[in-house]
A and B are shown apart, each in its own frame.
Chain A
Amino acid sequence: MLAPNLQRPHRVDHLVIAEMVERGSRALDVGCGDGALLQLLSDTKDVDGRGIEVSRERVNACVARGLSVIQGDADRDLVDYPDDAFDYAILSLTIQATLQPKAVLEQLLRIGRHAIVSFPNFGHWQVRGRLLLTGRMPVTDNLPEAWFESPNVHLCTIKDFADLCQVVDARVERAVAFNAWGSQLGTWLPLTVHNLMGEKAVFMLTRKWASLSPRNADLSANTINGASP
């Protein structure tokens, strides 16, 4: 009754995320858009899902459909959540549009026991080809906006993202890349091939670090354990 995209096929990265999450778990979808992933997770895995979305119209449409969504922004609002608030903190095709991808990823790893991130791969052969042949910022089916209109201020390749995972001390539990036709690339292929042939990628991560950064420890002490009268 509430399905938003009954007619539209599910996005391949959504399907693989739905396959990754455990039944009955709690998930936060950061940048949830029209709520398609939240709906899919709720319908197929009975997930207790929440969303954050920057566009007011989309938030209102999500809430009117019965999804738990707040108007907010990945760069600003993730700090409000306590540690381990969710089983999964999900950022699907959004990290490239954040102002501080590293800080956002660290927050995802803090508030979720797992972080799931999907992103367009700027190392894909089509992107490389466009830049090489035209000498201009690539515009592809997957990245259709011109550079001056694109919300994607921090595009990266699969290799770049794998590097960032090391920088933030995250363990990669699973990584999947899709080609332009939405098929998963064989996991036996080397990273370089994924980086060339993958149009999108989905990473599932956990934090290696056990203790919290001092700032976050302060914050959570302040918000959760503050004195009661």
Chain B
Amino acid sequence: MNTANPRDFLATTDARVLEASHPSSDYLDVPASRPLKLDSGRQLAPYRIAYKTYGTLNADKSNTILIEHALTMDQYVASPHPVTGKPGWWEAMVGPGKPIDTDRFFVICPNVLGGCMGSTGPASSNPETGKPWGLDFPVITIGDMVEAQVPLLDHLGIDQLFCVIGGSMGGMQVLAWAARHKKRVFTAVPIATAAWHSSQNIAFHEVGRQAVMADPNWCGGRYLELGKEPRNGLAVARMAAHITYLSEEALHRKFGRSLQEISTKSFSFNADFQVESYLRHQGSTFVDRFDANSYLYITRAIDYFDLRAEHGDVLANAFKGTRTRFCVVSFTSDWLYPTRESREIVQALNAVAANVSFVEIESDKGHDAFLLEEPELFATIRGFLNAAAQKRGLKPARRG
């Protein structure tokens, strides 16, 4: 038995639990001698960062693109997910010949600290007790996520990133990288994001967390040791959040008031409407691949993000002295991180005369647009990266 791959014998849930402690991807164990000083004042050591890489690092190590993932994503940006088997979450953007061209760039995508796909988080085991961390895991911030990735770059011998790019929470990490490690970031591409999380967005997150915690199977966060799972609570959290990722227009276009496989109303609380059935599906597939406590910790980290407050209530101070080239992107129908929040970032960058491009992309797909086929987004990213690569002296990809 010991020689067999345990994954072969496990159901999806168990595969997910296994990924938290034994990731299929590469990982770096940061030793106890290099503790992570958290914004909360606590320390974390040792800890692990799981990551995927694509492409080849060039001789002078100048072609790295760090991709930062959003709330429920992971390091499998351009390869199949080990639990669900689904394609990478940004395959339209990342790959050979794609805007983030892996024939030209060396791409790193780490799982965030607090995540559940192999980086240390509430689902990994606490070295002191041997049991899953659960709620004993320290509350973390976006800044902590960024600092946790620094040893990974050091380990790979990368001094300066050619680019840090990400959408949503990934965009927050991009901004934190650019603010905290100015010299290590040549270009930064924050997409569909904000320099602080709005009150409305905190409110949505709180609904999600309360749904998880109201599930009796959450067991005060100790469900993993007790062999239980707050599936219903996490599914409701996902359903509520999923609505915020779409737009009214996109929902209407996709579903309207269409009924699900029935010709008349059932006069019950079954999922009569297609939109109900769609949301239930989103909820149930999500719990197969995500840990409920990770969801609590990561949403909390996003809530705490406020780059302006961290810099004396003047966002421009976060970027003082920056030489990074920025490309800020927003979408017209994104009401979770609306264009005006991207514009605040642009204004702050202008106030320090930073090199910034800003593009608002017309789309009716809501916040999720950054993950989807958006030709204008691809053209923007491709053009921006190519021009910056030329400045950085990177050769075009050789094909064939």
For window 301-350 of B, CB contacts with A under 8 Å fall at 310-314, 316-317, 320, 325, 327-328, 346-348, 350
* B390 interface hit (Cβ, 8 Å): yes
B104 CB, nearest partner CB in chain A, Å = 15
Whether the Cβ atoms of A59 and B355 lie closer than 8 Å is no
* B61 interface hit (Cβ, 8 Å): no
Query: Which residue of B316, B347, B355, B359 contacts A63 across the interface (Cβ within 8 Å)?
Result: B359
Query: Which residue of B317, B320, B357 contacts A69 across the interface (Cβ within 8 Å)?
Result: B357
CA distance A71 to B359 in the complex (A): 6
* A223 interface hit (Cβ, 8 Å): yes
Return the chain B residue nearest A48 by Cβ: B355
CB-CB < 8 A to B386: which residues of A?
66
* B351 interface hit (Cβ, 8 Å): yes
CB-CB < 8 A to B355: which residues of A?
48, 50, 68
Residue picked from B313, B346, B356, B358, most chain A C-beta under 10 Å: B358
Stretch of A79-87, A135-143, A210-218 with 4 or more beta carbons under 8 angstroms from chain B: A79-87
CB-CB < 8 A to B358: which residues of A?
59, 69-72
Whether the Cβ atoms of A60 and B320 lie closer than 8 Å is no
Interface of A is mostly: mixed
CB-CB < 8 A to A82: which residues of B?
351-353
* B376 interface hit (Cβ, 8 Å): yes
CA distance A48 to B327 in the complex (A): 16
* B380 interface hit (Cβ, 8 Å): yes
CB-CB < 8 A to B314: which residues of A?
222-223, 226-227
CB-CB < 8 A to B388: which residues of A?
66
Whether the Cβ atoms of A66 and B312 lie closer than 8 Å is no
Given A71-B358, A226-B312, A228-B317 in contact, is the A63-B380 Cβ separation under 8 Å? yes
B233 CB, nearest partner CB in chain A, Å = 37
Query: Which residue of A66, A71, A85, A226 contacts B317 across the interface (Cβ within 8 Å)?
Result: A226
* B379 interface hit (Cβ, 8 Å): yes
Query: What band does the interface of chain A fall in when counting residues whose beta carbon is under 8 Å from B?
Result: 20 to 34
Whether the Cβ atoms of B357 and A85 lie closer than 8 Å is no
Whether the Cβ atoms of A224 and B316 lie closer than 8 Å is yes
Query: Which residue of B310, B350, B352, B387 contacts A77 across the interface (Cβ within 8 Å)?
Result: B350
Return the chain B residue nearest A56 by Cβ: B360
CA distance A229 to B317 in the complex (A): 10
0/1 interface trace, chain A 36-50, chain B, CB 8 Å (1 if under): 000000000000101
A33 CB, nearest partner CB in chain B, Å = 15
Whether the Cβ atoms of A63 and B317 lie closer than 8 Å is no
0/1 interface trace, chain A 60-103, chain B, CB 8 Å (1 if under): 10111111111110000100111001100000000000000000
CB-CB < 8 A to B382: which residues of A?
64
CB-CB < 8 A to A2: which residues of B?
387
CB-CB < 8 A to B352: which residues of A?
82, 223-224
Query: Which residue of A59, A62, A224, A229 contacts B311 across the interface (Cβ within 8 Å)?
Result: A229
Given A68-B325, A223-B316, A224-B320 in contact, is the A81-B356 Cβ separation under 8 Å? no
CB-CB < 8 A to B351: which residues of A?
80-82, 223-224
CA distance A229 to B314 in the complex (A): 10
CB-CB < 8 A to A77: which residues of B?
347, 350
Given A56-B362, A223-B351 in contact, is the A68-B357 Cβ separation under 8 Å? yes
Return the chain A residue nearest B350 by Cβ: A80
A4 CB, nearest partner CB in chain B, Å = 12
Query: Which residue of A60, A68, A226 contacts B380 across the interface (Cβ within 8 Å)?
Result: A60
CA distance A58 to B310 in the complex (A): 35
Whether the Cβ atoms of B353 and A86 lie closer than 8 Å is yes
B41 CB, nearest partner CB in chain A, Å = 15
CB-CB < 8 A to A56: which residues of B?
359-360, 362
Query: Which residue of B346, B361, B379, B380 contacts A70 across the interface (Cβ within 8 Å)?
Result: B346
State the 7 A-B residue pairs at the shortest beta-carbon distance, nearest first: A66-B387, A64-B383, A226-B314, A70-B358, A223-B351, A85-B353, A80-B350
Chain B residues in contact with chain A, CB under 8 A?
Answer: 310-314, 316-317, 320, 325, 327-328, 346-348, 350-353, 355-362, 376, 379-380, 382-384, 386-388, 390
What are 21 A-B contacts defined by CB distance under 8 Å?
A56-B359, A56-B360, A56-B362, A59-B359, A60-B361, A60-B376, A60-B380, A62-B357, A63-B327, A64-B384, A69-B357, A70-B328, A70-B350, A70-B358, A77-B347, A80-B351, A81-B353, A223-B314, A226-B313, A227-B312, A229-B311
Chain A residues in contact with chain B, CB under 8 A?
Answer: 2, 48, 50, 56, 59-60, 62-72, 77, 80-82, 85-86, 222-224, 226-229
